[in-house]
Amino acid sequence: MVRMKWAAALAAAAMLGAPALAQDKPKELVVGIATFLSGPASVFGVPGKNAADLLIEELNAKGGVLGVPVKPVYVDEGAGTNQLLSEYRRVAQEQGAQVMFGAISSGSCNALAPVAEDLKVVNVMWDCGTQTIFEEGKWKYSVRTQAHAGAEMMSTLLYLMKAKPDFKTIAVVNQDYAWGRESWALFQAGLKALKPDVKVVAELFPKFGAPDFSTEITRLSALRPDVVLSTSWGGDLDTFVQQAAARGLLKQSTFVLPLAESSLERLGNVLPEGVIIGGRGDHYWLHPKHKNSPEMLSFVKKYKDKTGVYPIYPTFHMAQAVIGLAKAYEKAGQATGGKWPSKEQVIAAFEGLEFKSLTGTISIRSDHQGLEDQLLGTTKRVPDYPFAVYDKMALYPGKLVTTPLGEKSLEWFAKVKPELVTDTSIETFDYAK
Amino acid sequence: MPPEMLLLAALDGLAYGSLIFLVAVGLSLIFGVLGVLNVAHGSFYAIGAYVAAAGVLALTGMGLPPWLAFPFFIVAAVLVGVIVGGLVETLLLRRIYGKEEVLQLLVTFAVFMILEDAQKVVFGVQPYFANAPMNWLGTIEVFGIFYTQYQLILIPTVALLVLVGLRLFLRRTAFGRAIVAVTQDRDAATAMGIDATRVYLITFIIGASLAALGGALSSATTSLTPGIGSGMIVLSFAVAATAGLGRIEGAAVAALLIGLGRSVAVYFAPEFDVLIPYLIMVAVLLIKPEGLFTTVQTRKV
Amino acid sequence: MARQLIIGAGLLAALIIFPLLSPWSTVILTVALCEGLAALGILVLLRAGQVSFGHGLYFAFSAYVVAFMAAARFGHEVLILVPVATAASGLLAALVGLFVVRYRAIFFGMLNLAISMVFFSLLEKLFSITGGADGKRVPRPTLAGISLERAEFELWIFYITLGLAVLAALGVARYLLSPGGKALEAIKSNETRLEYLGVSSRKVLFGAYVLSGLLAGLGGAVIALVSGHVTPELAYWVRSGEFVFIAILGGVGGVVGPFLGALMFQIIRGYAAVYAPETWHAVLGVMLLVIIFFAPNGLYGLMTGRKPAGTGQ
């Protein structure tokens, strides 16, 4: 074992000596993927990994990236930040990964961005949502192939204003960590600008992974707010919805659950009609415009055959990262005349890149932030599926709801205008079989 | 805050405290008899929950009535206790009773790490829930607020039955008295002909079954995700330590205290609800080092 | 003693050369040294028969002190940050120590666990101050006034940590041989006899506790520097459990043990992360069982064939 380690070390040392400019094609393109393989967030991490396996296999069958097969190497984000950082480094330095996908948690993305800069490795932030990454920092080697929390919360707010314009009170029940706190801060800033007379009757931040929301539900039952917002996800969201449903709370207030797309199938018949839901982007396997496209039909079928469930938003985020990477290499390859591009050339190709995802078009801004449309809807029960589906859908163009280049989301939210609610570029759809 | 809200907060704390009690009392019992602080106890809770949920999903999937879940909870708890708990005791712990405390602790820590991954491999990472038993029992209205009968009545009743049952078992049956004898003086008990090996094994199985029962009951109200065991273990440590290790009635009072403290905190100071169990534990240990319900013993020279 | 020196010197030589040959390993080795330092603190307490399941507290406290000071640009310098943070956790250990040295065995362990969990919960709860569960970024400070690139910075930090670890190991070895150290062993074997001799066992344990807090604090300060990011997870009970794990894995017979254990821990974890990314916990768990049942004196015990201290040589 020790000898293997030495050999690997020597190989890595030799590799580091290689020049960084346009090179000969490598035998394979190693892509390190940081994702949650343990802990509660593996509800996103493992579907992400499954999707990556599937998509990369497909990509390789079509000749890989510029004729080079892609080889994924996984790193467990659930092992804690310190372990993640050293694993990330090992994959980049020892296993020679030219590209890293990192990561799901905003905390991990914040920690990994400076490391990617120092290692000079292309870092695709494939799922994390914090808007602060590119608003407060400039990262040459990192790029995000999906929207950020600003776009997600703005579209949620606009949808709520359209669907239930006359609400007077709101309560929030978010998980107690950065996402729960930041998403509420954004939403609240926008709400103040659009509807200053709304009263916030309770702000509850139960512990991440809390097994019991009885007390929170009792408080909400007593307060009877018109709207209950929760940006929770995974097991926390399932538990909260279940316990709230059992005690009749879902019928008392309008629930707004911007991440519920990822729980729809699991929640089955627990989720009633009339709940406002979203999925952190325009992805939905029954997307009104793309559900019958050959790519979507093939992806949904393959994913369902492999895992037994329908794909959820992290799998679409992964698809965007994989497709985006392939397109960036193609674009960079054209610039170098077919030669294998350097990492710097790949990252340059990302800037201004536009590519088709499974559910729309992604374009990468000059600050490396992706523009992605946002799809929200209201639950409806239909005989076709044993779980709720999207109805009364609204598709918000990425450009409309994403904080403009150079501005900070919190400030932009504070000056949002009511006209945005009825902007003509918003498309609407009803459920159709 | 109107007084009825205080009552409502108390009702919320009841179910939560009852679940913690079930897990903590098993931990406390095992420590009292074996002298081992079982870190893997949280895993028994988690496995009990997963097995129960899988069973209930299978039952309802076959179209059987949901009330069958209740006897199944007991079956699942005993199965987990006998199979998982029994294996851990006979294969690992039994070989290490003579060794240092820290080694015993670490054996259970290792078991905890292995079982955490075993759950993932067997049950996957997607949140798992089986709420049919909770919905079947329906709701009850208190001051205009709906509570589930499952949480408000069933769970606390089970906890009460376990408390009374354990008391009767330990005081009235021969085997129970043997357990108490071993707790008080291991050497004397063996000298009097009590089979300590058997007492250890059965105590460990009972303790593990109680944790699994707590898990089984929780499976109807909460989603099961990887890591539920590690959160529960620290809470039940807090209860067991607050009560005084090995104290059954004490565990009930401490669990209730922590359950109520937490829900009152959600009303008055929601920022501090997670701190409550630890603050209670630190405060009690600082004032009464051996726990609330322990009489001081003379130190062995 | 001679054997201990040979093993120590061999380990030291390997550690000095390795990072030069494989640059990616610098950080992993530094992390191993930090965990080794914390485990060395656990070893000191184990000599007195006491197990702390809460030394993540000092590890995390020191790491957060570094994070706050570095972010505030106050003393944005390694040579200031590390001593200040270490001293701060020593101070905290002295404060907590005043209470916990009155307790023994399981209660000592529990109280440490509870206090560290209070700290952990506070780090998660006080989002606006600590950044909550996502933690805080630690901007890379200067080293002796010089701003370095990451690779050079990491290499320097590694050698500095190595030097500090050697000093700490030698210091602890001396301490264990001193009357104070011998009194520590007496707490384990027969505390009452110690008291009859007129030695205050609380004072002895207090000294050991502060020392262990300082060692864990030193490890935590360095880990904040090399990770560039701190999270509450540093204070979680599983992390504290790992320190005890490492101490036992390496063996408590000599001060080299915890470092051997920490290296082994990192190597196993590294390999498990590659070949069994979804079950690396279980791999570590099995390894721990193997050590406990087949080599209860740890790696160090395997190398020296010695029985652990305190069982009467």
Write the ipTM: 0.83
In DSSP terms, which residues pair with A381 in a beta bridge?
A: none
Mean pLDDT by 10 residues, chain A (433 residues): 45 43 79 88 91 95 92 88 85 89 87 90 93 90 94 95 94 88 93 94 86 86 93 89 90 94 90 94 93 94 94 95 95 89 93 94 94 95 94 94 93 93 92 86
- Report pTM: 0.85
Residue type, C74: F
Q: Do B113 and C284 touch (CB under 8 A)?
A: yes
Q: Do A205 and B270 touch (CB under 8 A)?
A: yes
Q: Under CATH, to which class is A28-147+294-371 assigned? A: alpha beta
| HSE value, Cβ hemisphere, 13 Å, CA-based, for A32 | 30
Residues 6+ apart with CB under 8 A from B9: A215, A218, B260, B263, B264, B266, B267
Interface of C to A at Cβ within 8 Å reads 18, 21-25, 27-28, 31, 124-125, 127, 131-135, 137, 149-151, 223, 227-231, 233-234, 239, 267, 269-271, 273, 277-278, 280-281
Name the CATH superfamily, with its identifier, for domain A150-279+373-429.
Response regulator (3.40.50.2300)
SS3 content of chain A, % helix, strand, coil (to 5): 45, 20, 35
Q: Which residues of B touch A216 (CB under 8 A)?
A: 266
Residue from C45, C50, C112, C121 whose CB has the most chain B CBs within 10 Å, to mutate: C121
pLDDT tens readout for residues B8-25? 888 888 888 999 999 999
Task: Please name which of A275, A276, A273, A263 lies closest in space to residue A309, comparing C-alpha atoms.
Answer: A263
Instruction: Name the minimum distance, in Å, from the CA of A206 to any CA of chain B.
Output: 8
DSSP letters for A285-343:
TT-TTTTTSHHHHHHHHHHHHHHSS---HHHHHHHHHHHHHHHHHHHHHHHTTTSBPPH
Q: Which residues of C touch B39 (CB under 8 A)?
A: 241
Of residues B95, B100, B282, nearest to C293 (C-beta): B95
The helix (run of H) or strand (run of E) holding residue A276 is strand A276-278
CB of B147 within 8 A of CB of B140? Answer: yes
Q: Does A85 touch chain C (CB under 8 A)?
A: yes
Measured distance CA(B232)–CA(B23) in Å, rounded:
8
Q: Do A243 and B221 touch (CB under 8 A)?
A: yes
The domain limits of chain B are 15-228
| HSE value, Cβ hemisphere, 13 Å, CA-based, for A428 | 12
pLDDT tens readout for residues B194-232? 888 888 999 999 999 999 999 999 998 888 888 888 888
Q: What are phi and psi of B220, to 5 degrees?
A: -85, -20
Alpha helices in chain C (DSSP H): 2-21, 25-47, 56-71, 78-100, 105-125, 127-130, 150-177, 179-196, 201-227, 237-250, 257-275, 280-294, 298-304
Q: Do A75 and C277 touch (CB under 8 A)?
A: yes
Q: Do C134 and A178 touch (CB under 8 A)?
A: yes
Of residues B13, B124, B148, nearest to A246 (C-beta): B148
- Lookup result for tokens 């703005």: A154
Q: Do B101 and C282 touch (CB under 8 A)?
A: no
Task: Please name which of A432, A147, A420, A149 lies closest in space to residue A283, comparing C-alpha atoms.
Answer: A147
Q: Do A79 and C125 touch (CB under 8 A)?
A: no
Confidence of residue B47 (pLDDT cuts 50, 70, 90): very high
- Ranges of beta strands (E only) in B48-154 are 139-142, 145-148
Residue from B100, B294, B296 whose CB has the most chain C CBs within 10 Å, to mutate: B100
Q: Please, what's the largest Cα pairwise distance for chain B?
A: 64
In DSSP terms, which residues pair with A172 in a beta bridge?
A: A203, A229
- In chain B, the residue whose alpha carbon lies closest to the alpha carbon of C123 is B275
Measured distance CA(C169)–CA(C191) in Å, rounded:
26
Write down which chains contact chain A via at least 3 CB pairs under 8 A.
Answer: B, C
DSSP letters for A145-195:
SS--HHHHHHHHHHHHHHH-TT--EEEEE--SSHHHHHHHHHHHHHHHHH-
Residue B287: exposure state from Cβ atoms within 10 A (0-12, 13-18, ≥19): exposed
Instruction: Name the minimum distance, in Å, from the CA of B227 to any CA of chain A.
Output: 6
Q: Which residues of A touch C231 (CB under 8 A)?
A: 80-82, 107
Residue A118: exposure state from Cβ atoms within 10 A (0-12, 13-18, ≥19): middle
- Ranges of beta strands (E only) in chain B are 139-142, 145-148
- In chain B, the residue whose alpha carbon lies closest to the alpha carbon of A262 is B126
Measured distance CA(A124)–CA(A372) in Å, rounded:
15
CA distances from B107 to A23, C259, C262 (A): 52, 21, 18
Measured distance CA(A85)–CA(C234) in Å, rounded:
14
pLDDT tens readout for residues B158-202? 999 999 999 899 888 988 888 888 877 777 888 888 888 888 999
Residue A213: exposure state from Cβ atoms within 10 A (0-12, 13-18, ≥19): buried
Using H for helix, E for strand and C for coil, what is the string for A4-56?
HHHHHHHHHHHHHCCCCCCECCCCCEEEEEEECCCCCCHHHHHHHHHHHHHHH
Measured distance CA(A315)–CA(A127) in Å, rounded:
9
Instruction: Name the minimum distance, in Å, from the CA of A163 to any CA of chain C.
Output: 32
CA distances from C173 to A86, C94, C170, C254 (A): 30, 21, 5, 8
Q: Which residues of A touch C149 (CB under 8 A)?
A: 118
pLDDT tens readout for residues B97-151? 878 878 888 899 899 999 988 988 898 877 888 888 888 888 888 888 888 888 8
Residue C204: exposure state from Cβ atoms within 10 A (0-12, 13-18, ≥19): buried
Residue from B12, B126, B152 whose CB has the most chain A CBs within 10 Å, to mutate: B126
A-C contacts (CB, under 8 Å): 111
Sign of CA dihedral C92, C93, C98, C104: positive
Strand order across the beta sheet in which A389-396 lies:
A199-204, A169-173, A227-229, A254-257, A276-278, A374-380, A389-396, A427-429
pLDDT score, position C306: 53
Q: Do A214 and B16 touch (CB under 8 A)?
A: yes
Write down which chains contact chain B via at least 3 CB pairs under 8 A.
Answer: A, C
Indicate the pairing of strand B145-148 with strand B139-142. antiparallel
Q: Does A298 touch chain C (CB under 8 A)?
A: no
Q: Do C24 and A114 touch (CB under 8 A)?
A: no
Task: Please name which of B45, B42, B44, B24 lies closest in space to residue B247, comparing C-alpha atoms.
Answer: B24
Q: Do A13 and C229 touch (CB under 8 A)?
A: no
The DSSP letter of residue A121 is -
CB of A300 within 8 A of CB of A310? Answer: yes
Q: Do A178 and C132 touch (CB under 8 A)?
A: yes
**CATH 3.40.50.2300 residue spans of chain A:** 28-147+294-371, 150-279+373-429
Of residues B8, B129, B222, nearest to A212 (C-beta): B222
CB of C168 within 8 A of CB of C215? Answer: yes
Q: Does C114 touch chain B (CB under 8 A)?
A: yes
CA distances from C75 to B5, C81, C139, C156 (A): 50, 7, 12, 19
Q: Do B278 and C118 touch (CB under 8 A)?
A: yes
Instruction: Name the minimum distance, in Å, from the CA of A162 to any CA of chain C.
Output: 32
pLDDT score, position A12: 45
Residue B301, pLDDT > 80, answer no
Measured distance CA(B209)–CA(C87) in Å, rounded:
46
Q: What is the mean pLDDT of residues B35-54?
A: 92
Measured distance CA(C250)–CA(B35) in Å, rounded:
25
Measured distance CA(B254)–CA(A160) in Å, rounded:
44
Indicate the pairing of strand A99-101 with strand A122-125. parallel
Q: Is C97 left (phi over 0), alpha (psi -120 to 50) or beta?
A: alpha
Q: Which residues of B touch C110 (CB under 8 A)?
A: 237, 241, 281, 285
Q: What is the signed CA dihedral for C32, C34, C35, C40, rounded to 10 degrees?
A: 120
Residue B10: exposure state from Cβ atoms within 10 A (0-12, 13-18, ≥19): middle
Of residues A13, A37, A178, nearest to C22 (C-beta): A13
pLDDT score, position A79: 80
Mean pLDDT by 10 residues, chain C (313 residues): 77 81 81 94 91 92 93 82 95 92 82 89 85 83 86 90 94 90 81 77 89 96 90 89 91 88 88 79 90 86 63 36
Beta-carbon neighbour count of residue A306 at 10 Å?
A: 12
CA distances from B277 to A285, A433, B48 (A): 43, 51, 23
Measured distance CA(A157)–CA(A151) in Å, rounded:
10
Of residues B125, B127, B135, nearest to A266 (C-beta): B127
Q: Which residues of C touch A12 (CB under 8 A)?
A: 22-24
Q: Does A53 touch chain C (CB under 8 A)?
A: no
The DSSP letter of residue B8 is H
In DSSP terms, which residues pair with A380 in a beta bridge?
A: A389
Interface of B with A in 128-157 (CB under 8 A): 129, 131, 134-135, 139, 144-148, 150-151
- For chain A, percent of residues with pLDDT exceeding 90: 68
Measured distance CA(C56)–CA(C45) in Å, rounded:
14
Residue type, A76: D
Q: Do C27 and A86 touch (CB under 8 A)?
A: yes
- In chain B, the residue whose alpha carbon lies closest to the alpha carbon of C276 is B117
CB of A281 within 8 A of CB of A126? Answer: no
Of residues C46, C281, C293, nearest to B113 (C-beta): C281
Indicate the pairing of strand A169-173 with strand A199-204. parallel
Residue from C134, C147, C284 whose CB has the most chain A CBs within 10 Å, to mutate: C134
Interface of B with A in 97-126 (CB under 8 A): 116-117, 120, 124-126
Q: Do A75 and C273 touch (CB under 8 A)?
A: yes
Task: Please name which of A229, A304, A243 lies closest in space to residue A271, comparing C-alpha atoms.
Answer: A243
CB of B29 within 8 A of CB of B213? Answer: no
Q: Which residues of B touch A43 (CB under 8 A)?
A: 125-127, 225
